[in-house]
Amino acid sequence: MSNNDTLGNARIAVLGYGSQGRAHALNLRDSGLDVVVGLRKGGPSWEKASAEGFKVAEPGEAVKGADLVAVLTPDMVQADVYTQSIEPNIKPGAALLFAHGFNVHFKRIDPRKDIDVILVAPKGPGALVRTEYERGRGVPSIWAVYQDVSGQAEAKAHAYANGIGGGRAMLIKTDFKEETETDLFGEQAVLCGGASSLVQAGFETLVEAGYQPEIAYYEVLHELKLIVDLFYEGGITKMLQFVSETAQYGDYVSGPRVIDAGVKARMKDVLTDIQNGTFARNWIAEYEAGLPNYKKFKQADLEHPVEVVGAKLRARMPWLQPETAKQAG
């Protein structure tokens, strides 16, 4: 494609064919670029990528001859994939691309000194990266350069971001440290950790006070989507426009009582643990020990009473069928 001179004749190896890998591979191919998908033979995605028309090879084979290698396997296997398949095979002067900086920033991967190392991370799940591309649009993406040996690292990051559609929307420059630390903080303090703990605490408060779990579920979990959709479309401003005056007044006087200065101080502690490597060290040790605490915490979440009543209620809301829910990524 004309907007892609830098990678126009390049061979791109996409390692992994999950949420991001599949969307990137399809978009890059539709942008006229030459893509090979690298997967383990017999792994869960091999058949799918072949059926969707890609050349598929073992990761090491896919890396050989590639001018750009996109590492889109799960974060915790990337260090092994690097050591076994990338380091011995990647061409000098080629680019190694990540969608999350964790392994490079926390030095689990020490990239060879004769390659470019770049990052392109769309700010959305893979399904959206694909559907927006198909609509002729794209998902805003952030990009960074960690190592530039060719003098072309920035141009390669832009060309890749254009190839997946991000350039049609907006590209924001970042660095590996900022991307890694803010991504971890967001998911821990607000998105996954903060939001799920807020919902569980609200549900427990109502149920312990004697209210029905079904009613509590609707008030603190189900309706959260309506509020978050308003945030997503128009920020807190739009939420305030759409809720009642009573809800607004309650927000102003009670929100800061629940999420008070103590919460913010603990958010700073969480951020400190991310910045100084404590979180990464603990998570890597947990992963290498076979996930004993992770499994225990997960089981407790899955068995929480809000999940028990939620499963029952969602079964009576046909618009929440798995096909629809999957779009959320």
Build a one-symbol-per-residue string for 300-329: x at contacts with Mg ion by CB under 5 A, - elsewhere.
Answer: ------------------------------
Nearer to ligand NAD, 125 or 194 (CB): 125
> Least distance to ligand NAD from the beta carbon of 45, Å?
4
100 is catalytic: yes
Contact present, 77 and 38 (Cβ < 8 Å): no
Among the listed ranges 48-56, 66-74, 181-189, 254-262, the one in contact with Mg ion (CB under 5 A) is 181-189
Q: How many CA atoms lie within 13 A of 263 on its CB side?
A: 13
> Least distance to ligand NAD from the beta carbon of 308, Å?
27
254 is in an annotated binding site: no
> Least distance to Mg ion from the beta carbon of 75, Å?
8
> Least distance to ligand NAD from the beta carbon of 39, Å?
5
Contact present, 127 and 329 (Cβ < 8 Å): yes
- Site membership for Mg ion, residue 3 (CB under 5 A): no
Cα(92)–Cα(115) distance, integer angstroms:
6
Residues 78-104 as b/e (b if ≥16 CB within 10 A, e otherwise) read bbebbeebbbebbeeebbbbbbbbbbb
Nearer to ligand NAD, 15 or 94 (CB): 15
Nearer to ligand NAD, 74 or 151 (CB): 74
219 is in an annotated binding site: yes
The CB-nearest residue to ligand NAD is 18
> Least distance to ligand NAD from the beta carbon of 244, Å?
34
Partner interacting with residue 121 (select from Mg ion, ligand NAD, none; CB below 5-8 Å by kind): ligand NAD
Beta bridge partners of 71: 15, 98
Q: Which residues bind ligand NAD (CB under 6 A)?
A: 15-21, 39-40, 43-45, 59, 72-75, 77, 81, 99-100, 121, 125-126, 329
Cα three-residue angle 232-237-242, rounded to 5 degrees: 85
Phi-psi region of 36 (alpha: psi -120 to 50; beta: other; left: phi over 0): beta
Looking at 100, 105, 158, 222, which residue is catalytic? Answer: 100
- Site membership for Mg ion, residue 196 (CB under 5 A): yes
Cβ neighbours around 37 below 10 Å, total: 29
223 is in an annotated binding site: yes
Cα(327)–Cα(144) distance, integer angstroms:
28
- Which tokens go with 47? 């058949």
Alpha-carbon distances of 320 from 125, 220, 228, 327, 328, rounded to whole Å = 19, 17, 17, 11, 11
Residues noted as catalytic: 100
Pick out the residues of the known binding site for NADP(+): 17-20, 40, 45, 126
